[in-house]
Structure 1
């Protein structure tokens, strides 16, 4: 209470400094979502997507799947009260009542009538960068992942790198399908192509495999796309002599 006012000042949160609650071995998903959220160009493109004109059409055209419940979707998030079914306040909030009062819980249904990972990224980024919430329970994102990427269904431990590749593959497929849809408006088509270009520029690469015939010297080239590339550290970094390894720079070409 300040200057006789009955209203308490709401604690401020730095935009982007929003935690994602572990919903049961979902650290792999949370870590990837945090990384994607802090890629400036990637985040801004998804925040600009017009959900009403593009993403509903996107999901129905690509996946043809509907959320089980859509009547309550006007409220995309529910404020977390002090009494909760999640238990005794362990986790990111640390049991602090102030942190718990600044947490949002996504509904367990996707936040769109049609299931779309692009839609969920848009919605989640909006909340994470609103500066209003210290913690989010990303139920809608998790259940959308379960629906569209069945390999990650359940609460088993998963690999973050594999999740990133699967997520980007689905996002790319959604964008490509929507951008070519006949009923998508031209401004939205241009924006979707821009987002797709950003996704490909940041994450997409091409691997060239070349086979040379020893008899005629003919070269056969095969280009394969990839989302990630596993590289080993040079041999000098495998030795116990840390000083010699640290003196020389490690280049990608090695």
Structure 2
């Protein structure tokens, strides 16, 4: 794994939405904040608005987790317990720890929670994430999505699209699917036709992350990067699906921000959806 670097914007695709909903920010500072003190006179945070404790240079992890927790169908899938029916017995630890963490973040009864159990579970698969060194947020995101997919995957047969060329016929595509592939994966289809015999060959390429420019006319949320090639500090800006307000998450520090401040020219990771999400339903752990 490599240290955080200033790179082009990366778009993280999921299958429902209009615009970019989540943003990460990288700064040159490397704060290690103390747990936030709860003020009994202050009203409780809305569900889904909770900081995450920094366990020692884990701002990259906290920012990614805040973004994932703010994807309504993903949060609802784990908070409702629906994930249990898909769990594979041989690799359920990461998915279970992720579900417990999301539930704690969405209870609305704490200013911040600790992702320590989740980091320990993922660290048993990938020990580099247990070290007190800065990691790249995009790499961490891919490892998390892969671990969740492995725990929840099922075999699925998909039908290929019909081709317009006469000799191009439809065919089935065998794959393994999960809530992760449904929300965070797309597929590029390539067809090559011989100009002499008109025979076609096909190639399918699955993607989760695309490096591409985002047109300025799109209403979207950006991940911002402030820093140099050697490192920085990550934060997240997420729109809460219950209040529809934007919040800045900087480890344990959480504050509401106006929508115009979310978009910047220093994008790093972009979470966007193809269709608008429905409003999340509140469900507390019994």
Superposed displacement of residue 54, structure 1: 4.7
Task: Tell me which of 166, 173, 188 is aligned to 1:207.
Answer: 188
Measure, in 2, the Cα distance between the counterparts of 1:166 and 1:142: 12
**Is 2:152 the partner of 1:120?**
no
Instruction: Indicate conservation of the 8 Å contact 2:149/2:178, yes or no.
Output: no
Superposed displacement of residue 33, structure 1: 0.9
User: What number of residue pairs does the alignment pair up?
Assistant: 156
- Give 1:158's aligned residue: 135
Root-mean-square deviation (CA), in Å?
3.0
Measure, in 1, the Cα distance between the counterparts of 2:56 and 2:195: 55
Superposed displacement of residue 37, structure 1: 0.9
- Judging changes above 3 Å, is the alpha-carbon distance between structure 1 residues 197 and 144 closer, same or farther for their aligned structure 2 residues? closer
- Give 1:148's aligned residue: 125
Measure, in 2, the Cα distance between the counterparts of 1:120 and 1:139: 9
**Is 2:90 the partner of 1:62?**
yes
Task: Tell me which of 46, 51, 54 is aligned to 2:78.
Answer: 46
Q: In structure 1, list runs of 5 or more residues that go unmatched.
A: 1-7, 64-114, 180-195, 235-254
Name the one with the larger helix percent.
Answer: 1
- Give 2:110's aligned residue: 133
Say which is worse superposed, 28-37 or 223-232, in terms of deviation: 223-232
* TM-score, structure 2 as length reference: 0.47
Greater relative contact order (Cα < 8 A, sep 6+) = 2
Instruction: Indicate conservation of the 8 Å contact 1:24/1:155, yes or no.
Output: yes
Task: Tell me which of 11, 28, 46 is aligned to 1:14.
Answer: 46
Measure, in 2, the Cα distance between the counterparts of 1:121 and 1:202: 16
- Judging changes above 3 Å, is the alpha-carbon distance between structure 1 residues 201 and 50 closer, same or farther for their aligned structure 2 residues? closer
Superposed displacement of residue 216, structure 1: 3.4
Per-residue deviation, residues 23-42 of structure 1 (Å, max 9, x unmatched):
11211211111111111111
- Judging changes above 3 Å, is the alpha-carbon distance between structure 1 residues 176 and 205 closer, same or farther for their aligned structure 2 residues? same
Instruction: Indicate conservation of the 8 Å contact 1:212/1:219, yes or no.
Output: yes
Instruction: Indicate conservation of the 8 Å contact 1:54/1:178, yes or no.
Output: no
* TM-score, structure 1 as length reference: 0.53
Pairing of 1:74-89 with structure 2 (within 5 A): none
**Is 2:59 the partner of 1:27?**
yes
Pairing of 1:83-98 with structure 2 (within 5 A): none
Instruction: Indicate conservation of the 8 Å contact 1:62/1:177, yes or no.
Output: no
Superposed displacement of residue 62, structure 1: 2.3
Q: In structure 2, list runs of 5 or more residues that go unmatched.
A: 1-39, 157-176, 216-286
Name the one with the larger strand percent.
Answer: 2
- Partner of 2:210: helix, strand, or coil? coil
